[in-house]
Structure 1
Amino acid sequence: MLVKKMTELFSRFFVKAISFAICISVFFTLFNSPSYAAKTSMTGDYAKDTISVVKTLQIAVETPKDSPDKDKVRDESLALITDYISRYRNRGMVNKTQSFTTMQTALNAMAGHYKNFATRPLPDKLKERLTKEFTLAEKMVLRES
């Protein structure tokens, strides 16, 4: 009887000890590994970033239809748009400005075309609209800062 109780106590203790060891190892594994922030091309200065994005995307808009780099330009533009919007969308001091809403409208139009019509070049009407909105957003951001 005593041996049976000792065996039962030992098995309970062993199960709890193993569970505790697993919990500790999971805890230290999760919190001991370094965490890396996503690399971004944004500096955090809204005015400078907006002007930089405008300049870069104007070059993308002006890329000829038969350019061999059009796929690379499209992918880089989409990455830049995502980076810019994710950086400034949730910033209250920025997302209420006219320059940001104008930029967001232009970026949504450009990204929408690139995602839905990946193999087609930007239509001329869209190019004109993007050029106007980028110019307007650049003027507004310079005025606001």
Structure 2
Amino acid sequence: MASPTLITPTSTPKSLTPVKPKTTTLVSATLNPTTATPTHPRRREFLSLTASLVSSVVPLAPAVAASDEEYVKETEDVINKVRTTITLDKNDPNVATAVADLRESSNSWVAKYRREKALLGRASFRDMYSALNAVSGHYISFGPTAPIPAKRRTRILEEVDTAEKALLRGR
């Protein structure tokens, strides 16, 4: 058993020695009027510098959306890929490659145009999105070599046809 430690006036353990307070210098800080929190002068300078840099680099006008001609061209390309891919024979050795190519192009088409507010109300976008969703859902569920059933294929081709007609009318 350890012997108890006796504290004598000449030997004081470190835990009982008084801690010398640290001295700090005060910097004049002001209150931020919107949040009522102190704002350091360096922080104010940094924020004003950052705001001026951002405003000089970032254009004030909103980003230009994809052009209408670009949308029409890319949609026609995807329509052609859908038609050729879903009409391929199931014994064709290029089916898996064609499906992978179609899925890649349809994913990029959807990613590019899904957030375009001007396109969301168009009939061509709605029908094309629905057709791509049906094709993609089929190949995700059943695999790239599974043929699309006749009823689903007919509906997809009808949606693609109506999307193409709407594109020609500018809708």
Comparing 99-108 with 116-125, greater Cα deviation is found at 116-125
Candidates 79, 83, 106, aligned match of 1:81: 106
Q: What is the alpha-carbon distance in structure 1 between the residues aligned to residue 107 and residue 69 of structure 2? A: 15
Q: What is the alpha-carbon distance in structure 2 between the residues aligned to residue 96 and residue 131 of structure 1? A: 21
Q: 1:69 deviation in Å?
A: 0.9
Contact 1:46/1:94, CA 8 A, preserved across alignment: no
Seq. identity, %: 29
Aligned to 1:127: 153
Count of residue pairs brought into register by the alignment: 103
Q: What is the alpha-carbon distance in structure 1 between the residues aligned to residue 96 and residue 84 of structure 2? A: 14
Q: What is the alpha-carbon distance in structure 1 between the residues aligned to residue 146 and residue 78 of structure 2? A: 22
Question: When the two structures are superposed, what TM-score results if normalisation uses the length of structure 1?
Answer: 0.67
Question: When the two structures are superposed, what TM-score results if normalisation uses the length of structure 2?
Answer: 0.57
Q: What is the alpha-carbon distance in structure 2 between the residues aligned to residue 120 and residue 55 of structure 1? A: 20
RMSD over equivalenced CA pairs, Å: 1.6
Candidates 83, 92, 112, aligned match of 1:58: 83
Amino acid at match of 1:138: E
Candidates 110, 113, 137, aligned match of 1:112: 137
* Ranges of 4+ aligned residues in structure 1 off by more than 6 Å: none
Instruction: Provide structure 1 residue ranges, at least 5 long, that are not aligned to the other structure.
Output: 1-42
Q: 1:121 deviation in Å?
A: 1.2
Deviations 1:83-126 (A, max 9, x none): 11001000011122111011100000000001010042111111
Instruction: Provide structure 2 residue ranges, at least 5 long, that are not aligned to the other structure.
Output: 1-67
Aligned to 2:164: 138
Contact 1:103/1:133, CA 8 A, preserved across alignment: yes
Contact 1:99/1:140, CA 8 A, preserved across alignment: yes
Aligned to 2:97: 72
Deviations 1:9-48 (A, max 9, x none): xxxxxxxxxxxxxxxxxxxxxxxxxxxxxxxxxx971111
Q: What is the alpha-carbon distance in structure 1 between the residues aligned to residue 122 and residue 79 of structure 2? A: 16
Aligned to 2:125: 100
Q: Does 1:91 align with 2:116?
A: yes
Q: 1:131 deviation in Å?
A: 1.0
- From the two aligned structures, give the one with the greater helix fraction: 1
Q: What is the alpha-carbon distance in structure 1 between the residues aligned to residue 90 and residue 150 of structure 2? A: 11
Matched position secondary structure for 2:169: helix
Which is higher, the Rg of structure 1 or of structure 2?
2
